[in-house]
Amino acid sequence: MTRKRTLLSALILVISMVYAFRSYTQEMHPPMDEMIILAPLPLSHTHHNIPKNSSVHESLVNAGVEPQLIHDIVKATRSEFDLRYIQPGTRFTLSRMPDKSIRRITFEISPLSRLEINYSHQVWTADINDIETTKQLVHFSGVVKDSLWGSGLEQKLSPEVIVDFAEVFGWQVDFSREVQKGDRWQLSVEKLMAEGRFVGWGPILYAEYQSKDTLNKAYYYKNKKENIQGYFDEEGNSLRKVFLKSPIKFGRITSRFSRKRFHPIHKTYRAHNGVDYGAPRGTPVRAVGDGRVVKIGRFGGSGNMIVLDHVAGFETKYLHLNRFQKGLRRGSRVNQAQVIGYVGSTGYATGPHLHFEMSKHRQIMDPLKVDLPSSKPIPKESLAHFKQYIGNVSRKIASTYNVEGTDKPCCDSTVIKTKKSTAD
C-alpha cells in the first residue's frame, strides 16, 4: 500500500511539472495568432531647398527643425561632411514619425551622392551614400552651316559636350579658321542618369569630323594598368600633339602672319609676327602647350602679355590680354590647354582680340604653318588590347545607333554604380 502511494505521489509530481513547463513556455512564446508583430512606423517626407543668400541653419529652422537638434546633427556630420559648405539651391528632405519627430535628414550634396543623417537608439549618425547611376550611350550628328558651335546647338547638343568635342580634335582642326560649310561631324557619348534624373555627361567614346577629303576619327581609350588615357586613331596613334592648333577654342582669325601688313594704328606697313584672334572681351585664352612663364605683366604696346617657354626651344606669346589667370607669376608652370588669361584690348589694339606669336630658338614662325609631331602612340604590347577595345566600341555603337531601321539614336543602359542609397 505504501509503495502504491509513493508511485501515485511521483506521478502527480511529474504531471504538475509538465503543466508548469507548458504554462511557462506558452507565456514566453505565445501562439502565432496571439503574437504581436511590431512593424516599423511609416515615415512622412517633406522636401525643401536652401534659398539663395540663406544658410543651412536658417533653412532648417524655417523647415521646423529645433535649434538644439540642428546642433546635434551638425556635430554628428562633422567627420563625414561640413554642413557649412552646402551651397544655396541644395535640396534636402526631412523624414518624420507620426508624432512629428524627425528621424532622418537627407541632403543632395551632389548629383551622384547624398548625405544621410539618421536617428537610431537615441544617437544621430551620418553617412555619404552613392546614388545608383546608369549610363546611356547616345549619339549625335550634324552638318556645319556656319560654325561647329551653331551646328551642335541645332542638334540639341549640350554646350559642355560641344566644347569636349572641340577638345578631342583640338590638335587636328583649328575650329577658328578651318571649319567650312558642309563639314560633317558625329559623336557617341555617355549620358549619366541617377534615379531617372540626368546628372551629367561621361566621356565621348567615339568622334569623327569630316572636312572635304579629310576624315578625323577618335577613340577614347583608358588602360589603368599601362597608365594610358586619351584619344587615339584606329591605328593607335595619339591625337594629342606638342601644341594645340589654337589658343582660343572658338575665336575667329582677323589678321594672319605677314612680313608686311598695314598697321591700323600706326598707319604704316610693318611685319605682323603673329596671328590675331577676334573674340569677345573675357574669352579664356589657353596655353597651347606645357611650359613655364618667363614674362608676365604690362609691356607698352603689347599691353598685358604672357610669354611661355616650351620644350625644344619653342616660345609662345599672348598679347593684349584683359587680365591674367589668378596665381600666375614668373616661373609658374602651366599645362597644355590651361587657361592663362582672358581676351582684352590693352596696349595698341583697336578692339578686343588676342595677338599670338610662336618662335623657335628666337626665330619667328607662322603659328598656322607649324607642323609638330604627335605624342607617344599606344605601346606595341598594348596594341592588341586597344584593337579589341575599339572593335567592341564600334559594334556597340552600330547596335544602338538605329532602332528598327529608323535614323533615331537610341540608348544602351548599363549600371556603373551599385551602391544604393537608403533614402526613401
> What sign results for the dihedral spanned by CA atoms 188, 189, 192, 196?
negative
Q: Which amino acid is at 377?
A: P
Give the pLDDT of residue 77.
Answer: 86
Give the pLDDT of residue 2.
Answer: 58
CA atoms within 13 A on the CB side of 398: 6
Q: How many CB atoms lie within 10 A of CB 346?
A: 18
As given in the structure block, the three cell numbers for residue 419 are: 551602391
List 119's β-bridge partners, or say none: 124
Q: Cα–chain-centroid distance for residue 400? A: 24
Query: End-to-end distance of the chain based on CA atoms, in angstroms?
Result: 76
List 188's β-bridge partners, or say none: 139, 206
Least confident of 211-215, 291-295, 401-405: 401-405
CA gap 358, 395 in Å, rounded: 43
pLDDT digits (tens, 9 = 90+) for 166-210: 989 988 887 877 788 999 999 999 998 887 788 889 999 999 999
Q: Cα–chain-centroid distance for residue 322? A: 28
Q: State the DSSP H helix or E strand holding residue 207, giving kind and residue range, or none if neither.
A: strand 197-211
As given in the structure block, the three cell numbers for residue 298 are: 604690362
pLDDT digits (tens, 9 = 90+) for 242-293: 888 889 987 788 888 775 544 555 445 457 888 999 889 999 999 999 999 9
> What sign results for the dihedral spanned by CA atoms 326, 327, 330, 336?
negative
